Amino acid sequence: MKTLLVAIVGNDNFGDEAMFKAIYRKLLSRGEEIVVATYNVDEAKRRFPNVNFIKIPILSKHQYLLGLMGKNVLSIDISRFDSLYISGGGTLNSLYPLHVFNIYLMVREFRKKRKYVEFRPQSVGPFFGRTKPILEFLIKRIVKFSDKFYVREQASYEYLAKKNLKIELHRDDAWEIPADSSISLPDGKYVGLCIRPWKRQEDLLREYMKELVKEIEKLNYIPLFIPIAYGGSESYIDNAFLKGIVPGIFLDDLIEMDSLTPETIKDIIGRCCFTIGMSYHFNVFSLSQGVPSAAIYLDEYYKIKNLGLYKAFGNPKLVFKIPETPPSELLRTILEISNI
C-alpha cells in the first residue's frame, strides 16, 4: 500500500513534528510505503533526512478558481497512491485559507477515485471575514468526503456535530509520543511557561507575564520558559519576545533548540511542578503526563484549541482569558484545583 501523508513539517514547531512523527510511525508499522507532502521541503528534509518528501504545490488564483469549478489542478499524481492521510493540526480555519483550498482539492480527487481518506485529530475554526462562507462550505465537503475525520478537542467536535457531520473525538496524536530524558537540567522547582507572540499583542503579554512571574517567584518557584515554536523569525518563536523584560530561565539559552526533539521537550515539561501555557501542544505535553497545568488565550483561535482541549481531556476551570484574569487569581486557582 502506498500512502500520501500531508503534514506541516519543517516550520520549527515541536508540536507539528510530534503529530507528524506519531502518524508516520503508525503507518510505517503497518508496512505502508509513505510519501509526505509538505510546504517547506528543504527544512523538512534537514530535520527528517530519511523521509521521502514532496512539495505541496502553490497554485495561482486562476488555478484555485478552476479547482473550485471541478477541474483537477493538482500537480501531485493521485493515481500513485492508495490512500490519503492528513496529519493532525489547527490549520482548517480562516487564518490559513489557501491551505484549506489545497486540502479540499486533494481530498476531492481521492474521493473521486474511491480511495481511502483519513484526517488525524484536527481543530476546526475560527472562520471570519470574507472567506468565512466559502471556507465553511469547503470544510463541510472535506468532512463528508473523508472516510474518517477525527477532532482533537470539544469545541471543534461541537461545531461539526451541529452540522450533522460524521466525526470522532480523539486525543491529539502528539499525546502518545514517548518522553526522552536524555537532556540534563539543573535541579530546581520549575514552573514551565510557554507564551506565543500573537496578533501583535506582545506589549500586553509582556506586562502580564511580568506580573505572573513576580507571583511565581514569591512562592519560590523558578520560571522556566520552554518553546514549542522554536525557530524562524522572532515574531513566531515562543517566549523570545519576553527576554530581557521578564525574568526567568529561557531553555534556548541553555540548549541549542535545533538539537532537541518533541520527545525531549515533552520530558522537560514533565519535570515541572506545574505549567502555564498558550501553546496548544505545550498544554498537550503537560496533560498527557499528568503535570498540573493551566492554559491561557487571547482570542477565539486559542480559545477553540485550549478550552476545547481542557473540556475534552482536562479541567476547563484551568483555562483563562487574559488579561481579564489577574495573574494572582490564575496562580491561586491552579494551586488550589491541583492541590499543590
At 91-150, the pLDDT tens digits run: 999 999 999 999 999 999 999 999 999 999 999 999 999 999 999 999 999 999 999 999
Q: What is the pTM of this model?
A: 0.96
Bigger pLDDT: 198 or 7? 7
Beta strand ranges found along 208-281 (DSSP E): 222-225, 249-250, 274-277
Res 60: pLDDT? 87
Cα atoms in the Cβ-side hemisphere of radius 13 Å centred on 21:
18
Res 233: pLDDT? 77
Q: Which three cell numbers stand for residue 127?
A: 472562520
How large is the average pLDDT for residues 285-307?
97
Report the alpha-carbon angle 312-313-317, nearest 5: 80
How large is the average pLDDT for residues 295-319?
97
Instruction: Assess whether the previous peptide bond of 227 is cis (omega < 30° from 0).
Output: no
Mean pLDDT over all residues of the chain?
96
* pLDDT band for position 276 (cuts 50, 70, 90): very high
* pLDDT band for position 42 (cuts 50, 70, 90): very high
Tell me whether domains 2-176 and 190-337 share a fold. Answer: yes
Report the alpha-carbon angle 122-127-128, nearest 5: 160
Q: Which region among 32-41, 89-98, 204-213, 230-239 has the lowest average model confidence (pLDDT)?
A: 230-239
Res 87: pLDDT? 98
- 2-176: CATH topology is Rossmann fold (3.40.50)
Res 57: pLDDT? 87
CATH top-level class of 190-337? alpha beta
Three-state DSSP state, 114? coil
Q: Is the pLDDT of residue 198 over 90?
A: no
Q: Which three cell numbers stand for residue 331?
A: 496562580
Burial 123-144 (b: 16+ CB within 10 A, else e): bbbbbeeebeeebbebbeebbe
How large is the average pLDDT for residues 266-284?
98
Q: Is the pLDDT of residue 310 over 80?
A: yes
| Domain spans, the chain | 2-176, 190-337
Burial 285-320 (b: 16+ CB within 10 A, else e): bbbbbebbbbbbbbeebbbbbbbbbbbbbbeeebbb
Res 58: pLDDT? 86
* pLDDT band for position 252 (cuts 50, 70, 90): very high
Calculate what percentage of the chain has a pLDDT beyond 90. Answer: 91
